[in-house]
């Protein structure tokens, strides 16, 4: 991927964060927040951010389509073409529930995918000013420095398990399997924060029950390019546009093996 394209996307994300997202942070009125579904929020900042990002990304790479979270909420059929051809994938504010409540973390996530394969990903934390990006075969970077994912070194691996989209029986089962094998920590309810935690050695393992492309295309690429491992629960690669459920990410292949044997042995039998 050309350096100029990488830099142009990064500049666009920073501009949108400065001009649209941060001015709305802790400054939303009640009528600027709504629920798309139970516990699934959208704000005026999400909508304005997505429009600005979509326009900017289309100018950067006119041949690519645009798959945005809020556009898909309005017209779910848009998601049907996420795995077809060249597409920008936009999460205008990831962690909207946190953003709407006036607390961190939240972020902006962009990915570029071609026929389901993620070619590039960008994850920006507007409050920290931290930019993570990765390109397929080109490595992972945080604020311009190449990074290698590392384990936390904790006696029991630190796991953040996003199981709230699982059934009650599935949650109970994974909780039983995890007991005594991991130190469980609260999830940030923000993939834009969780993936960097895996790369930076703050967490060792993450499970995501739902895997919509705007939440995970950029993050899976970042973690894999950093030398960690993120795949479907059965070990198959994550692809934009597929309809499988579940992702398992770990800060190293060793911990991915340990986690999958502990939590999902039945799927690997």
Mean pLDDT of the chain: 95
Give residue-wise pLDDT tens across range 164-203: 788 888 889 999 999 999 999 999 999 999 999 999 999 9
User: Do 219 and 123 form a contact (C-beta atoms < 8 A)?
Assistant: yes
Per-residue pLDDT at 267: 53
CB 190 within 8 A of CB 107: yes
Spatial distance between the Cα atoms of 247 and 205, rounded to a whole number of angstroms: 11
Sign (positive or negative) of CA dihedral 195, 199, 203, 209 = positive
pTM: 0.96
Residue with the bigger pLDDT between 38 and 124: it is 124
Average pLDDT for residues 136-141, to the nearest whole number?
Answer: 98
CATH architecture of structural domain 158-268: 3-Layer(aba) Sandwich (3.40)
Report, as an integer, the average pLDDT of 106-118: 98
Domain ranges of the chain: 3-146, 158-268
Average pLDDT in the 70-80 region? 95
Q: Tens digit of pLDDT for each residue in 144-162? A: 999 999 999 999 999 999 9
pLDDT for res 204: 98
Token representation of residue 111: 């990915």
Q: pLDDT exceeding 90 applies to what percent of the chain? A: 88
> How much is the pLDDT for 151?
98
CA dihedral 236, 159, 35, 90 (to 10 degrees): -50
- CA distance readout (Å), 50 to 55, 180, 209: 8, 42, 25
pLDDT in tens, 198-230: 999 999 999 999 999 999 999 999 999 999 999
Whether the Cβ atoms of residue 122 and residue 131 lie closer than 8 Å to each other: yes
Instruction: Return the minimum-mean-pLDDT range out of 6-15, 50-59, 101-110, 242-251.
Output: 242-251
Mean pLDDT calculated for residue range 71-89? 96
Q: 3-state SS of the chain?
A: CCHHHHHHHHHHHHHHHHHHHHHHCCCCCHHHEEEEECCEEEEHHHHHHHHHHHHHHHHHCCCCEEEEHHHHHHCHHHHHHCCCCEEEEEEEEECHHHHHHCCCCCEEEEEEEECCEEEEEEEEECCCCEEEEEECCCEEEECCEECCCCCCCCCCCEEEEECCCCCHHHHHHHHHHHCCCCEECCCCCCHHHHHHHHHCCCCCEEEECCCCHHHHHHHHHHHHHCCCEEECCCCCCCCCCCCCCCEEEECCHHHHHHHHHHHCHHHHC
Instruction: Check residue 154 and give its pLDDT.
Output: 97
What is the β-pairing status of strands 86-94 and 65-68? parallel
Between residues 41 and 120, the one the model is more confident about: 120
| pLDDT score for 269 | 43
Rounded to the nearest 10°, the torsion over CA 19, 22, 26, 29 is 30
Q: How far apart are CA 92 and CA 106, in angstroms?
A: 10
To the question of domain 3-146 being in CATH 3.30.540.10, the answer is yes
How sure is the predictor about 266, in pLDDT bands with cuts at 50, 70 and 90?
confident
């Amino acid at each position: 991927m050309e350096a100029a394209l990488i830099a142009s996307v990064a500049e666009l994300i920073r501009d949108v964060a400065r001009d649209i997202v941060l001015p709305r942070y802790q400054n939303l009125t009640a009528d600027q927040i709504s629920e798309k579904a139970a516990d699934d929020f959208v704000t005026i900042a999400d909508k304005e951010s997505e429009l600005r990002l979509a326009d900017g990304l289309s100018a950067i790479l006119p041949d690519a389509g645009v798959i945005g979270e809020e556009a898909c909420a309005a017209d779910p059929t848009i998601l049907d073409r996420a795995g077809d051809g060249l597409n920008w994938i936009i999460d205008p504010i990831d962690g909207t529930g946190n953003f709407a409540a006036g607390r961190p973390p939240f972020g902006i996530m962009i990915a570029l995918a071609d026929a389901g394969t993620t070619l590039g990903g960008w994850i920006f934390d507007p409050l920290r000013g931290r930019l993570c990006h990765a390109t397929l075969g080109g490595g992972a970077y945080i604020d311009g420095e190449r990074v290698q994912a590392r384990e936390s070194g904790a006696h029991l691996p630190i796991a953040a398990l996003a199981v709230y989209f699982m059934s009650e029986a599935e949650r109970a089962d994974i909780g039983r399997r995890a007991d005594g094998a991991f130190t469980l920590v609260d999830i940030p309810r923000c993939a834009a924060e969780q993936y960097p935690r895996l790369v930076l050695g703050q967490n060792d393992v993450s499970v995501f029950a739902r895997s919509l492309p705007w939440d995970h295309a950029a993050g899976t690429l970042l973690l894999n390019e950093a030398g960690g491992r993120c795949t479907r629960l059965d070990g198959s690669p994550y692809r934009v546009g597929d309809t499988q459920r579940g992702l398992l990410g770990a800060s190293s292949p060793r911990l991915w093996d340990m986690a999958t044997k502990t939590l999902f042995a039945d799927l690997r039998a």
